[in-house]
């Protein structure tokens, strides 16, 4: 089993984590190493295992609790293992699967778990499995069902890559399908049929004319988006199609509830029946929460809106403020070219150490 040195430079710890392959569903080896390291090197923490998730926490009786959460899994290998290191010092760059998404963030959290023994907040560390696959397999969902007390806190910090800048909240996402029916006929006698694909013309015109809302929440700008993402239909090259389906994705600002988002789409596509096929609510930034304000101050006041969806929404649904904060450029996630700067790993470590108070 791989031995992890949690007291090492978190850049070196990142490299060690990357070299333990942990594609979704295959996190056991890394979870074993994380569990063993926490038990051996962080005796001040209570450590438990849940499936291939490892959880640890302080129990100091502090008036507030912060949850640091990072997933252990990666997308499949794409000729980007083992880790490759270039440069030195803060100019060093680590290349390889998971450097960005999100073993750099995991390394920061593990290092802090072992080295911050008297934080000003009680701290819970959650290293979970199956984030990169369908939501029903996400380890956070299992932990919420089986050990909900381990996710409770005043602020959740998810170590997703954010260019070492705090990204608050996240947008919600909803996918709907608009189905049109017609009547089949031979294209040589098209007047005898009704073309279902042609019937999508009006919904597509509404999408083309749609003006997305821009909203300010806690001083952060969230830009909504409504886009057609797929059209399916057609029977054969000489048949008028009798069915066509338009799939639409709505990225909505976190001031809308899922019910409000669905109502808005009903207004946009008035006269058409919609089926919701996928939905994840957003998360408000929560910048007015005391713990969040402390974190922003520790980071020098820089904060941005998270435009995509992340697991901060799961914590927000539990009534907590939640932010994304981790090293790495999110546009590199899931690419063969994934790489992270040592400078960002160390910067996130410094900010969180200052925030936690040791």
Q: Where are the alpha helices (DSSP H) in the chain?
A: 10-18, 28-41, 104-115, 139-146, 201-209, 258-268, 290-298, 312-316, 342-356
Q: Does 106 participate in catalysis according to the annotation?
A: no
Burial class (CB in 10 A: 0-12, 13-18, 19+), 325: buried
User: Is 73 marked active-site?
Assistant: yes
**Rounded alpha-carbon distances, angstroms, from residue 77 to 20, 24, 180, 332:** 12, 11, 40, 14
User: Sign of the CA dihedral 203, 231, 282, 145?
Assistant: positive
Query: Which member of 101, 106, 122, 131 is catalytic?
Result: 131
**Length in residues, the chain:** 358
Neighbours of 111 (CB within 10 A): 25
| Residues 349 and 108 sit within 8 Å (Cβ to Cβ) | yes
Q: What is the CA radius of gyration of the chain?
A: 23
The active-site residue, picked from 27, 52, 73, 167, is 73
The rounded distance, in Å, linking the Cα atoms of 36 and 103 is: 17
Which pair of tokens denotes residue 193?
Answer: 């049929």
d(Cα 324, Cα 162) in Å, to the nearest integer? 7
Chain Cα centroid distance, residue 261? 20
List the structure tokens of 302. 């820089």
- Own/partner pairs, 185-189, CB within 8 angstroms, 24+ separation: 185/239, 185/240, 186/238, 186/239, 186/240, 187/238, 187/239, 187/240, 188/238
Active site residues: 73, 131
């Amino acid at each position: 089993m791989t031995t992890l040195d949690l007291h090492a430079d978190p850049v070196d710890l990142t490299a060690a984590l990357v070299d333990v392959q942990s594609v979704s569903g295959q996190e056991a080896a890394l979870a074993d190493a994380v569990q063993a390291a926490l038990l051996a090197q962080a005796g001040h923490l209570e450590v438990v295992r849940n499936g291939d998730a490892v959880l640890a926490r302080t129990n100091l009786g502090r008036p507030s609790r912060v949850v640091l959460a990072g997933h252990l899994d990666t997308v499949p290998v794409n000729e980007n293992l083992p880790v490759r290191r270039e440069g030195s010092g803060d100019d060093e760059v680590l290349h390889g699967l998971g450097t960005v998404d999100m073993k750099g963030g995991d390394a920061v959290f593990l290092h802090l778990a072992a080295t911050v023994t008297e934080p000003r907040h009680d701290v819970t560390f959650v290293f979970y499995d199956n984030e990169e696959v369908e939501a029903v397999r996400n380890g956070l969902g299992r932990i919420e069902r089986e050990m909900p007390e381990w996710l409770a806190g005043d602020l959740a910090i998810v170590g997703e890559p954010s260019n070492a800048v705090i990204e608050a909240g996240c947008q919600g996402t909803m996918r709907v399908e608009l189905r049109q029916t017609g009547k089949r006929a031979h294209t040589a006698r098209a007047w005898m049929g009704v073309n279902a694909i042609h019937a999508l013309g009006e919904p597509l015109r509404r999408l083309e004319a749609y003006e997305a809302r821009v909203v300010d929440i806690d001083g952060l700008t969230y830009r909504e988006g409504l886009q057609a993402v797929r059209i399916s239909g057609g029977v054969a090259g000489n048949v008028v199609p009798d069915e066509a389906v338009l799939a639409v994705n709505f990225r909505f600002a976190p001031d809308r509830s899922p019910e409000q988002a669905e109502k808005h789409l009903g207004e946009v596509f008035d006269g058409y029946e919609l089926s919701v096929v996928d939905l994840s609510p957003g998360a408000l930034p929560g910048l007015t929460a005391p713990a969040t304000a402390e974190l922003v101050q520790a980071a020098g006041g820089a904060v941005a809106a998270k435009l995509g969806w992340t697991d901060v929404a799961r914590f927000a649904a539990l009534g907590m403020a939640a932010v994304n904060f981790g090293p790495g450029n999110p546009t590199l996630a899931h690419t063969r070219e994934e790489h992270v700067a040592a400078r960002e790993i160390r910067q996130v470590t410094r900010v969180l150490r200052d925030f936690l108070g040791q």
